[in-house]
Structures are given as C-alpha cells and as structure tokens.
C-alpha cells in the first residue's frame, strides 16, 4: 500500500493503474468499507484514491461509479455524541 501511495502521485503510474484489470479504485473502496480493516489502512486507501483521482479523469469517473462519493460522505459525517 505504501508503494502504491508513493507511485500514485506520478502521472505515468496513474495511467498504468487505470489499465489494471483488477480495478484499483474498487479494491481501495473495499478496504475502506471493510469493518475489519485497520484505521491506518483505511486512511492510506483514502490517500491513494486522492492521489489517483487528482487531475486524472478516468479514476475520478471510476470513483463515482463505484459509490466513492457516498463512501466519502459516510466517513466525513459528523456524529454529535452527547
């Protein structure tokens, strides 16, 4: 995951990741949704998604199609616990 986070910042690798058959965005979303995933892995997955989507339309589209916007809203929701 750390290697992907490092390379995801580079334009060259963004294109390569978009051509993978496994669907990197889908796998990262799965890590975030999985309740058993550690918090640091979820944070890293969000960071990788941000790097991959920055100024790269194919990843942005995949993120939206796979429910990433809703996932982002759920994880940013403020719950007032009084």
Q: Where do the domains of the chain lie?
A: 2-74
Tell me what the pLDDT averaged over the chain comes to: 90
| Of 46, 16, 15, nearest in space to 32 by CA | 46
Could you tell me the pTM of the whole model? 0.84
52-73 confidence digits (pLDDT tens): 999 999 999 999 999 999 999 9
In this prediction, residue 59 carries a pLDDT of: 92
Q: How large is the angle between the packed helices 39-53 and 57-65, nearest 10 degrees?
A: 130
In this prediction, residue 82 carries a pLDDT of: 61
1-31 confidence digits (pLDDT tens): 999 999 998 888 888 888 887 789 999 999 9
In this prediction, residue 46 carries a pLDDT of: 95
């Amino acid at each position: 995951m750390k290697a992907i986070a490092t390379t995801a910042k580079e334009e060259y690798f963004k294109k390569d990741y978009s051509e993978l058959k496994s669907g990197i965005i889908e796998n990262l979303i799965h890590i975030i949704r999985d309740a058993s995933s550690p918090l640091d892995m979820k944070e890293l997955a969000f960071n990788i998604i941000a790097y991959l989507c920055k100024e790269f339309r194919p990843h942005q589209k995949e993120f939206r199609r796979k429910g990433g916007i809703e996932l982002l809203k759920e994880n940013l929701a403020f719950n007032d616990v009084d």
